[in-house]
Amino acid sequence: MLEYLQRWSVTALPRLNRQILAGEAGLESLVAALNFAIMPDLPRPGELTPRQAQQAVVLLSFVGAAVSRHFQVSDERYRRVPHRAFQAFAVGDAGTPFLSYFAQVARRTGTGHGPRDSYAALVRWNVPTCEVFWRGERLAVLPGLFDDGVTRTYTGDVGEVRFFELMKKTEAVERAANDLLEPLVTGEVPLDSPPALYRFQLATTLMTALRRLLLDFGRLPSGVGLGADHFIDVFRQFAGHWRAGDIPPSGALDPEALKRDLLLGLDLPDLHGYILRVFPGLLDRERAELAELMRYPSLPRAVLDSLTLTRSELAALPVPTVAGLVREHPELAACYLLLTAHGRASAAHLVLVEKFLFRPARQRDAAGLPDSPVVSNWHGTTGMDETLLARLVRIRQLHALSPLNAVPRGELLRIAGMDIPEVVTSDQVGDVVRLYRADPGNLVAQPGYGR
Protein backbone atom coordinates (compact mmCIF):
# COMPACT_ATOMS: atom_id res chain seq x y z
CA MET A 1 0.00 0.00 0.00
CA LEU A 2 2.87 2.40 0.74
CA GLU A 3 4.27 1.75 -2.73
CA TYR A 4 0.88 2.48 -4.22
CA LEU A 5 0.50 5.64 -2.14
CA GLN A 6 4.00 6.68 -3.22
CA ARG A 7 3.05 6.42 -6.90
CA TRP A 8 -0.35 8.01 -6.28
CA SER A 9 1.23 11.00 -4.53
CA VAL A 10 3.45 11.65 -7.58
CA THR A 11 0.78 11.18 -10.25
CA ALA A 12 -2.87 11.20 -9.23
CA LEU A 13 -2.81 13.67 -6.31
CA PRO A 14 -0.99 16.49 -8.17
CA ARG A 15 -3.26 15.96 -11.16
CA LEU A 16 -6.35 16.09 -8.95
CA ASN A 17 -5.09 19.25 -7.24
CA ARG A 18 -4.56 20.90 -10.62
CA GLN A 19 -8.03 19.93 -11.78
CA ILE A 20 -9.67 21.35 -8.66
CA LEU A 21 -7.64 24.57 -8.93
CA ALA A 22 -8.64 24.93 -12.58
CA GLY A 23 -12.31 24.33 -11.82
CA GLU A 24 -12.29 21.11 -13.84
CA ALA A 25 -13.17 19.01 -10.78
CA GLY A 26 -14.87 19.69 -7.49
CA LEU A 27 -14.11 18.96 -3.88
CA GLU A 28 -16.20 15.81 -4.12
CA SER A 29 -13.60 14.38 -6.51
CA LEU A 30 -10.92 14.62 -3.83
CA VAL A 31 -13.21 13.09 -1.22
CA ALA A 32 -14.18 10.22 -3.51
CA ALA A 33 -10.62 9.48 -4.63
CA LEU A 34 -9.25 9.39 -1.09
CA ASN A 35 -12.10 7.38 0.37
CA PHE A 36 -12.03 4.85 -2.48
CA ALA A 37 -8.33 4.47 -3.33
CA ILE A 38 -6.36 5.46 -0.20
CA MET A 39 -8.08 5.54 3.17
CA PRO A 40 -9.50 2.00 3.34
CA ASP A 41 -6.20 0.22 2.75
CA LEU A 42 -3.67 2.29 4.70
CA PRO A 43 -1.60 0.01 6.97
CA ARG A 44 -1.97 -0.02 10.71
CA PRO A 45 0.67 2.26 12.29
CA GLY A 46 2.05 -0.65 14.33
CA GLU A 47 2.80 -2.58 11.13
CA LEU A 48 5.20 0.10 9.90
CA THR A 49 8.92 0.25 10.59
CA PRO A 50 10.13 3.68 11.73
CA ARG A 51 11.49 4.41 8.25
CA GLN A 52 8.23 3.33 6.61
CA ALA A 53 6.37 5.52 9.07
CA GLN A 54 8.55 8.47 8.05
CA GLN A 55 7.76 7.78 4.39
CA ALA A 56 4.07 7.54 5.23
CA VAL A 57 4.23 10.88 7.04
CA VAL A 58 5.67 12.50 3.91
CA LEU A 59 3.02 11.02 1.64
CA LEU A 60 0.13 11.74 4.00
CA SER A 61 1.42 15.28 4.49
CA PHE A 62 0.57 16.04 0.88
CA VAL A 63 -2.82 14.35 1.30
CA GLY A 64 -3.59 16.38 4.42
CA ALA A 65 -2.41 19.61 2.81
CA ALA A 66 -4.77 19.04 -0.13
CA VAL A 67 -7.72 18.33 2.17
CA SER A 68 -7.01 21.37 4.32
CA ARG A 69 -6.56 23.72 1.38
CA HIS A 70 -9.53 22.71 -0.75
CA PHE A 71 -12.01 22.52 2.13
CA GLN A 72 -10.97 25.92 3.49
CA VAL A 73 -11.27 27.50 0.05
CA SER A 74 -14.70 25.94 -0.47
CA ASP A 75 -16.16 27.26 2.77
CA GLU A 76 -14.64 29.91 5.04
CA ARG A 77 -16.17 28.21 8.09
CA TYR A 78 -13.46 25.55 7.80
CA ARG A 79 -10.84 28.26 8.36
CA ARG A 80 -12.17 28.81 11.88
CA VAL A 81 -12.42 25.08 12.67
CA PRO A 82 -9.93 23.53 10.22
CA HIS A 83 -9.99 20.08 11.81
CA ARG A 84 -13.55 19.58 10.58
CA ALA A 85 -12.25 19.38 7.00
CA PHE A 86 -10.89 15.93 7.86
CA GLN A 87 -14.13 14.52 9.23
CA ALA A 88 -15.04 13.21 5.78
CA PHE A 89 -12.17 10.71 5.97
CA ALA A 90 -11.66 7.59 8.07
CA VAL A 91 -8.84 5.09 7.81
CA GLY A 92 -9.12 1.30 7.62
CA ASP A 93 -11.76 -1.07 8.86
CA ALA A 94 -11.73 0.59 12.26
CA GLY A 95 -12.64 3.94 10.72
CA THR A 96 -9.85 5.80 12.52
CA PRO A 97 -10.20 9.56 11.99
CA PHE A 98 -7.52 10.79 9.58
CA LEU A 99 -5.94 13.25 12.03
CA SER A 100 -5.71 10.57 14.72
CA TYR A 101 -4.22 8.13 12.23
CA PHE A 102 -1.65 10.69 11.08
CA ALA A 103 -0.64 11.37 14.70
CA GLN A 104 -0.21 7.64 15.35
CA VAL A 105 1.98 7.21 12.28
CA ALA A 106 4.00 10.28 13.29
CA ARG A 107 4.64 8.76 16.74
CA ARG A 108 5.69 5.54 15.05
CA THR A 109 8.58 7.39 13.37
CA GLY A 110 10.28 7.75 16.75
CA THR A 111 11.42 11.25 15.78
CA GLY A 112 9.01 13.35 17.81
CA HIS A 113 7.25 14.47 14.63
CA GLY A 114 4.07 16.42 15.28
CA PRO A 115 0.48 15.57 14.26
CA ARG A 116 0.53 17.47 10.94
CA ASP A 117 2.83 18.15 7.98
CA SER A 118 6.17 19.77 8.78
CA TYR A 119 9.28 21.29 7.28
CA ALA A 120 11.13 18.06 8.05
CA ALA A 121 8.64 15.92 6.15
CA LEU A 122 8.13 18.19 3.13
CA VAL A 123 11.77 19.17 2.66
CA ARG A 124 14.35 17.02 4.40
CA TRP A 125 12.59 13.66 4.14
CA ASN A 126 10.89 14.33 0.81
CA VAL A 127 13.62 15.87 -1.37
CA PRO A 128 16.40 13.51 -2.58
CA THR A 129 19.73 13.32 -0.79
CA CYS A 130 21.81 16.49 -0.79
CA GLU A 131 25.53 16.72 -0.01
CA VAL A 132 27.96 19.61 0.46
CA PHE A 133 31.55 19.27 -0.72
CA TRP A 134 34.60 21.47 -0.55
CA ARG A 135 37.81 20.53 -2.34
CA GLY A 136 36.82 16.88 -2.47
CA GLU A 137 35.81 16.64 1.19
CA ARG A 138 32.20 15.97 2.07
CA LEU A 139 31.19 18.46 4.74
CA ALA A 140 27.52 17.57 5.21
CA VAL A 141 24.81 15.24 3.97
CA LEU A 142 21.02 15.44 4.27
CA PRO A 143 19.60 12.06 3.19
CA GLY A 144 16.27 11.68 1.45
CA LEU A 145 13.89 8.88 2.43
CA PHE A 146 12.90 7.62 -1.01
CA ASP A 147 14.90 5.69 -3.58
CA ASP A 148 13.11 7.08 -6.65
CA GLY A 149 14.97 10.41 -6.67
CA VAL A 150 11.66 12.29 -7.04
CA THR A 151 10.60 15.39 -5.12
CA ARG A 152 6.91 15.24 -4.27
CA THR A 153 4.95 18.46 -4.78
CA TYR A 154 1.40 19.74 -4.49
CA THR A 155 0.67 20.16 -8.21
CA GLY A 156 3.71 18.81 -10.08
CA ASP A 157 4.78 22.33 -11.06
CA VAL A 158 8.49 22.55 -11.86
CA GLY A 159 8.73 25.70 -9.74
CA GLU A 160 7.51 23.78 -6.70
CA VAL A 161 10.18 21.14 -7.35
CA ARG A 162 12.89 23.76 -7.53
CA PHE A 163 11.64 25.57 -4.43
CA PHE A 164 11.60 22.43 -2.29
CA GLU A 165 15.08 21.63 -3.62
CA LEU A 166 16.29 25.15 -2.81
CA MET A 167 15.19 24.75 0.79
CA LYS A 168 17.01 21.44 1.13
CA LYS A 169 20.16 22.80 -0.51
CA THR A 170 20.26 25.83 1.77
CA GLU A 171 19.71 23.65 4.84
CA ALA A 172 22.57 21.40 3.78
CA VAL A 173 24.91 24.39 3.40
CA GLU A 174 23.79 25.73 6.76
CA ARG A 175 24.46 22.36 8.38
CA ALA A 176 27.97 22.26 6.91
CA ALA A 177 28.69 25.75 8.28
CA ASN A 178 27.13 24.99 11.67
CA ASP A 179 29.17 21.80 12.03
CA LEU A 180 32.31 23.86 11.47
CA LEU A 181 31.33 26.56 13.96
CA GLU A 182 29.70 24.70 16.84
CA PRO A 183 33.02 23.40 18.27
CA LEU A 184 34.14 27.02 18.51
CA VAL A 185 31.28 28.09 20.78
CA THR A 186 31.47 24.96 22.93
CA GLY A 187 35.21 25.45 23.47
CA GLU A 188 36.21 22.19 21.83
CA VAL A 189 38.35 24.18 19.38
CA PRO A 190 40.08 27.25 20.93
CA LEU A 191 39.12 30.49 19.19
CA ASP A 192 42.73 31.64 18.88
CA SER A 193 43.99 28.44 17.23
CA PRO A 194 44.85 27.86 13.53
CA PRO A 195 42.06 25.25 13.22
CA ALA A 196 39.60 27.90 14.39
CA LEU A 197 40.75 30.31 11.66
CA TYR A 198 40.27 27.57 9.06
CA ARG A 199 36.76 26.90 10.33
CA PHE A 200 35.90 30.60 10.26
CA GLN A 201 37.20 30.98 6.72
CA LEU A 202 35.48 27.90 5.31
CA ALA A 203 32.18 28.83 7.00
CA THR A 204 32.51 32.28 5.41
CA THR A 205 32.93 30.66 2.00
CA LEU A 206 29.84 28.54 2.66
CA MET A 207 27.89 31.71 3.42
CA THR A 208 28.77 32.91 -0.08
CA ALA A 209 27.43 29.61 -1.45
CA LEU A 210 24.21 30.14 0.50
CA ARG A 211 23.86 33.64 -0.93
CA ARG A 212 24.56 32.36 -4.44
CA LEU A 213 21.85 29.67 -4.16
CA LEU A 214 19.30 32.29 -3.14
CA LEU A 215 20.24 34.84 -5.79
CA ASP A 216 20.42 32.28 -8.59
CA PHE A 217 16.96 30.94 -7.69
CA GLY A 218 15.52 34.44 -7.86
CA ARG A 219 16.98 34.94 -11.33
CA LEU A 220 15.51 31.82 -12.91
CA PRO A 221 13.42 32.83 -15.93
CA SER A 222 9.68 32.30 -16.18
CA GLY A 223 8.78 28.68 -16.81
CA VAL A 224 11.97 27.47 -15.20
CA GLY A 225 11.67 28.74 -11.66
CA LEU A 226 8.78 29.52 -9.34
CA GLY A 227 6.30 32.15 -10.51
CA ALA A 228 5.21 34.71 -7.93
CA ASP A 229 1.52 34.16 -8.73
CA HIS A 230 1.92 30.40 -8.36
CA PHE A 231 3.78 30.87 -5.08
CA ILE A 232 1.04 33.10 -3.65
CA ASP A 233 -2.08 31.51 -5.10
CA VAL A 234 -1.08 27.84 -5.13
CA PHE A 235 2.03 26.84 -3.19
CA ARG A 236 1.48 28.86 0.00
CA GLN A 237 -2.20 28.01 0.17
CA PHE A 238 -1.35 24.39 0.93
CA ALA A 239 0.15 25.51 4.27
CA GLY A 240 -3.12 26.18 6.06
CA HIS A 241 -3.95 25.06 9.57
CA TRP A 242 -5.03 21.49 10.25
CA ARG A 243 -6.10 22.44 13.77
CA ALA A 244 -6.65 25.92 15.13
CA GLY A 245 -3.41 27.35 16.50
CA ASP A 246 -1.06 24.68 15.13
CA ILE A 247 2.23 25.48 13.35
CA PRO A 248 2.12 25.02 9.56
CA PRO A 249 5.29 24.06 7.65
CA SER A 250 7.59 26.96 6.84
CA GLY A 251 11.16 27.72 5.87
CA ALA A 252 11.33 29.53 9.22
CA LEU A 253 11.33 26.06 10.80
CA ASP A 254 14.62 25.09 9.16
CA PRO A 255 16.52 23.95 12.28
CA GLU A 256 19.93 24.70 10.78
CA ALA A 257 18.89 28.31 10.15
CA LEU A 258 17.77 28.58 13.78
CA LYS A 259 21.11 27.12 14.89
CA ARG A 260 22.95 29.58 12.68
CA ASP A 261 21.29 32.53 14.40
CA LEU A 262 22.23 31.10 17.79
CA LEU A 263 25.82 30.55 16.68
CA LEU A 264 26.30 33.89 14.95
CA GLY A 265 24.12 35.91 17.26
CA LEU A 266 20.87 37.73 16.61
CA ASP A 267 20.31 40.77 18.80
CA LEU A 268 16.64 40.18 19.54
CA PRO A 269 15.33 40.48 23.09
CA ASP A 270 13.37 37.21 22.88
CA LEU A 271 15.27 35.05 20.38
CA HIS A 272 15.21 32.04 22.69
CA GLY A 273 11.51 32.59 23.33
CA TYR A 274 10.75 32.62 19.60
CA ILE A 275 12.67 29.39 19.05
CA LEU A 276 10.87 27.74 21.96
CA ARG A 277 7.51 28.78 20.51
CA VAL A 278 8.21 26.95 17.23
CA PHE A 279 9.45 23.81 19.02
CA PRO A 280 6.17 21.95 18.26
CA GLY A 281 7.03 22.16 14.55
CA LEU A 282 10.46 20.54 15.04
CA LEU A 283 11.73 17.04 15.75
CA ASP A 284 13.07 15.76 19.08
CA ARG A 285 16.69 15.83 17.96
CA GLU A 286 16.35 19.36 16.62
CA ARG A 287 14.79 20.59 19.84
CA ALA A 288 17.58 18.99 21.89
CA GLU A 289 20.34 20.46 19.71
CA LEU A 290 18.83 23.94 19.83
CA ALA A 291 18.32 23.75 23.59
CA GLU A 292 21.97 22.75 23.98
CA LEU A 293 23.17 25.68 21.86
CA MET A 294 21.12 28.09 23.96
CA ARG A 295 23.48 27.32 26.82
CA TYR A 296 26.43 28.96 25.05
CA PRO A 297 27.22 32.53 24.01
CA SER A 298 27.21 33.37 20.32
CA LEU A 299 30.52 33.38 18.46
CA PRO A 300 30.92 37.18 18.36
CA ARG A 301 30.11 37.33 22.05
CA ALA A 302 32.67 34.60 22.75
CA VAL A 303 35.33 36.43 20.73
CA LEU A 304 34.66 39.71 22.54
CA ASP A 305 34.61 37.95 25.90
CA SER A 306 37.99 36.43 25.15
CA LEU A 307 39.31 39.97 24.63
CA THR A 308 37.47 41.26 27.74
CA LEU A 309 35.63 43.75 25.53
CA THR A 310 31.99 44.66 25.08
CA ARG A 311 30.48 45.68 21.78
CA SER A 312 30.23 49.33 22.86
CA GLU A 313 33.84 49.31 24.05
CA LEU A 314 34.98 47.92 20.70
CA ALA A 315 33.03 50.62 18.88
CA ALA A 316 34.70 53.32 20.99
CA LEU A 317 38.26 52.22 20.14
CA PRO A 318 40.24 54.30 17.63
CA VAL A 319 41.03 52.60 14.34
CA PRO A 320 44.78 52.16 15.09
CA THR A 321 43.90 50.38 18.34
CA VAL A 322 41.44 48.11 16.49
CA ALA A 323 44.15 47.34 13.92
CA GLY A 324 46.47 46.36 16.74
CA LEU A 325 43.84 44.07 18.22
CA VAL A 326 43.36 42.37 14.87
CA ARG A 327 47.12 41.86 14.52
CA GLU A 328 47.24 40.13 17.90
CA HIS A 329 43.91 38.33 17.51
CA PRO A 330 43.21 37.36 13.87
CA GLU A 331 40.14 35.44 15.05
CA LEU A 332 38.54 38.88 15.48
CA ALA A 333 38.92 39.56 11.74
CA ALA A 334 37.89 36.01 10.85
CA CYS A 335 34.67 36.26 12.85
CA TYR A 336 33.97 39.71 11.38
CA LEU A 337 34.26 38.37 7.83
CA LEU A 338 31.91 35.49 8.66
CA LEU A 339 29.28 37.81 10.15
CA THR A 340 29.54 40.15 7.17
CA ALA A 341 29.03 37.26 4.74
CA HIS A 342 26.07 36.09 6.80
CA GLY A 343 24.52 39.55 6.62
CA ARG A 344 24.82 39.53 2.83
CA ALA A 345 23.19 36.09 2.62
CA SER A 346 20.36 37.32 4.83
CA ALA A 347 19.82 40.27 2.49
CA ALA A 348 19.62 37.87 -0.46
CA HIS A 349 16.89 35.94 1.35
CA LEU A 350 14.92 39.16 1.84
CA VAL A 351 15.24 39.89 -1.90
CA LEU A 352 13.57 36.54 -2.61
CA VAL A 353 10.77 37.12 -0.10
CA GLU A 354 10.15 40.58 -1.55
CA LYS A 355 10.02 39.22 -5.10
CA PHE A 356 7.75 36.27 -4.47
CA LEU A 357 5.55 37.52 -1.64
CA PHE A 358 5.51 41.06 -0.34
CA ARG A 359 5.87 43.03 -3.58
CA PRO A 360 3.12 41.07 -5.37
CA ALA A 361 0.94 41.39 -2.25
CA ARG A 362 1.31 45.19 -2.32
CA GLN A 363 0.54 45.28 -6.04
CA ARG A 364 -2.59 43.22 -5.52
CA ASP A 365 -3.67 45.36 -2.62
CA ALA A 366 -3.21 48.52 -4.70
CA ALA A 367 -5.36 46.97 -7.43
CA GLY A 368 -8.12 46.29 -4.90
CA LEU A 369 -7.70 42.52 -5.01
CA PRO A 370 -8.53 40.54 -1.86
CA ASP A 371 -5.94 38.72 0.21
CA SER A 372 -5.47 34.99 -0.39
CA PRO A 373 -8.18 32.98 1.37
CA VAL A 374 -6.27 30.35 3.37
CA VAL A 375 -2.77 31.75 4.04
CA SER A 376 -2.42 35.53 4.15
CA ASN A 377 0.24 37.13 1.95
CA TRP A 378 1.09 39.76 4.53
CA HIS A 379 3.13 37.49 6.80
CA GLY A 380 4.83 34.11 6.90
CA THR A 381 3.18 31.06 8.37
CA THR A 382 5.07 31.60 11.64
CA GLY A 383 3.88 35.22 11.83
CA MET A 384 6.88 37.11 10.43
CA ASP A 385 5.88 40.15 8.36
CA GLU A 386 7.88 42.33 6.00
CA THR A 387 8.89 44.83 8.67
CA LEU A 388 10.25 42.13 10.96
CA LEU A 389 12.17 40.38 8.18
CA ALA A 390 13.76 43.66 7.11
CA ARG A 391 14.65 44.35 10.74
CA LEU A 392 16.30 40.94 11.06
CA VAL A 393 18.43 41.63 7.98
CA ARG A 394 19.49 44.97 9.42
CA ILE A 395 20.38 43.37 12.75
CA ARG A 396 22.51 40.74 11.01
CA GLN A 397 24.30 43.42 9.01
CA LEU A 398 24.92 45.63 12.06
CA HIS A 399 26.40 42.72 13.96
CA ALA A 400 28.47 42.85 17.14
CA LEU A 401 31.77 43.21 15.25
CA SER A 402 30.52 45.82 12.75
CA PRO A 403 32.84 48.47 14.29
CA LEU A 404 35.56 46.73 12.24
CA ASN A 405 33.89 48.29 9.19
CA ALA A 406 36.19 51.25 9.84
CA VAL A 407 39.17 49.15 8.76
CA PRO A 408 39.31 48.54 4.97
CA ARG A 409 38.73 44.85 4.17
CA GLY A 410 42.06 44.36 2.40
CA GLU A 411 43.97 45.97 5.23
CA LEU A 412 42.03 43.94 7.77
CA LEU A 413 43.09 40.71 6.09
CA ARG A 414 46.68 41.87 5.66
CA ILE A 415 46.97 42.87 9.31
CA ALA A 416 45.46 39.59 10.43
CA GLY A 417 47.77 37.63 8.13
CA MET A 418 44.77 35.80 6.70
CA ASP A 419 43.95 34.50 3.26
CA ILE A 420 40.87 35.96 1.61
CA PRO A 421 37.93 33.57 2.05
CA GLU A 422 36.92 32.17 -1.31
CA VAL A 423 33.66 33.14 -2.98
CA VAL A 424 31.45 30.45 -4.52
CA THR A 425 30.19 31.53 -7.94
CA SER A 426 27.18 30.37 -9.96
CA ASP A 427 29.47 28.13 -11.99
CA GLN A 428 30.86 26.49 -8.85
CA VAL A 429 27.79 26.15 -6.64
CA GLY A 430 26.59 22.97 -8.38
CA ASP A 431 29.85 21.23 -7.46
CA VAL A 432 29.64 22.45 -3.87
CA VAL A 433 25.99 21.55 -3.30
CA ARG A 434 24.98 18.27 -4.98
CA LEU A 435 21.41 17.01 -5.14
CA TYR A 436 20.85 13.45 -6.32
CA ARG A 437 17.49 13.71 -8.03
CA ALA A 438 16.09 11.41 -10.70
CA ASP A 439 16.77 12.57 -14.28
CA PRO A 440 19.48 15.03 -13.23
CA GLY A 441 19.15 16.86 -16.54
CA ASN A 442 17.35 20.14 -16.98
CA LEU A 443 13.92 20.07 -15.37
CA VAL A 444 12.74 22.59 -17.96
CA ALA A 445 12.58 19.72 -20.42
CA GLN A 446 9.97 18.11 -18.14
CA PRO A 447 7.05 20.58 -18.01
CA GLY A 448 4.81 17.74 -16.86
CA TYR A 449 7.13 16.72 -14.01
CA GLY A 450 5.07 14.88 -11.47
CA ARG A 451 2.08 14.24 -13.75
Residues 162-183 have pLDDT tens digits of 999 999 999 999 999 999 999 9
For residues 268 and 293, the model is more confident at: 293
User: Are 258 and 390 members of one domain?
Assistant: yes
User: Are 111 and 157 members of one domain?
Assistant: no
> Percent helix, strand and coil across the chain, each rounded to 5?
65, 5, 30
In a domain, 322, yes or no: yes
In a domain, 147, yes or no: no
In this structure, what CATH number is given to the domain that contains residue 247?
1.20.58.480
In a domain, 134, yes or no: no
- The arithmetic mean of pLDDT across residues 53-76, rounded, is 95
In a domain, 440, yes or no: no
Instruction: Look over the chain and give the mean of its residue pLDDT values, rounded to a whole number.
Output: 91
In a domain, 157, yes or no: yes
Q: How far apart are CA 214 and CA 163, in angstroms?
A: 10
Torsion from C-alpha of 36, 38, 39, 42, nearest 10 degrees: 140
C-alpha radius of gyration, the chain, whole number: 23
In a domain, 410, yes or no: yes
Give the end of a domain, one of 91, 117, 143: 117
Count of structural domains, the chain = 2
User: Are 200 and 106 members of one domain?
Assistant: no
Number of alpha helices (DSSP H) and beta strands (DSSP E) in the chain: 21, 5
User: Are 176 and 56 members of one domain?
Assistant: no
For residues 279 and 442, the model is more confident at: 279
User: Are 165 and 19 members of one domain?
Assistant: no
The model's pTM: 0.93
In a domain, 451, yes or no: no
Whether residue 257 has pLDDT greater than 50: yes
User: Are 349 and 254 members of one domain?
Assistant: yes
The string of pLDDT tens digits covering residues 384-436 is 788 888 888 999 999 999 999 988 888 888 888 888 889 999 999 999 999 99
User: Are 100 and 184 members of one domain?
Assistant: no
User: Are 96 and 182 members of one domain?
Assistant: no
User: Are 86 and 226 members of one domain?
Assistant: no
User: Are 112 and 237 members of one domain?
Assistant: no
Q: How far apart are CA 406 and CA 298, in angstroms?
A: 23
Return the exposure string of 389-426: e unless at least 16 CB atoms fall within 10 Å of the residue's CB, then b.
beebbebbbebbbbbbeebeeeebbebbebeebbebee
User: Are 281 and 220 members of one domain?
Assistant: yes
User: Are 157 and 108 members of one domain?
Assistant: no
Q: Which domain holds residue 270?
A: 153-435
Q: How many CB atoms lie within 10 A of CB 277?
A: 13
65 — pLDDT class (breaks 50, 70, 90) = very high
pLDDT at 439: 61
- The arithmetic mean of pLDDT across residues 312-325, rounded, is 92
In a domain, 282, yes or no: yes
Whether residue 374 has pLDDT greater than 90: no
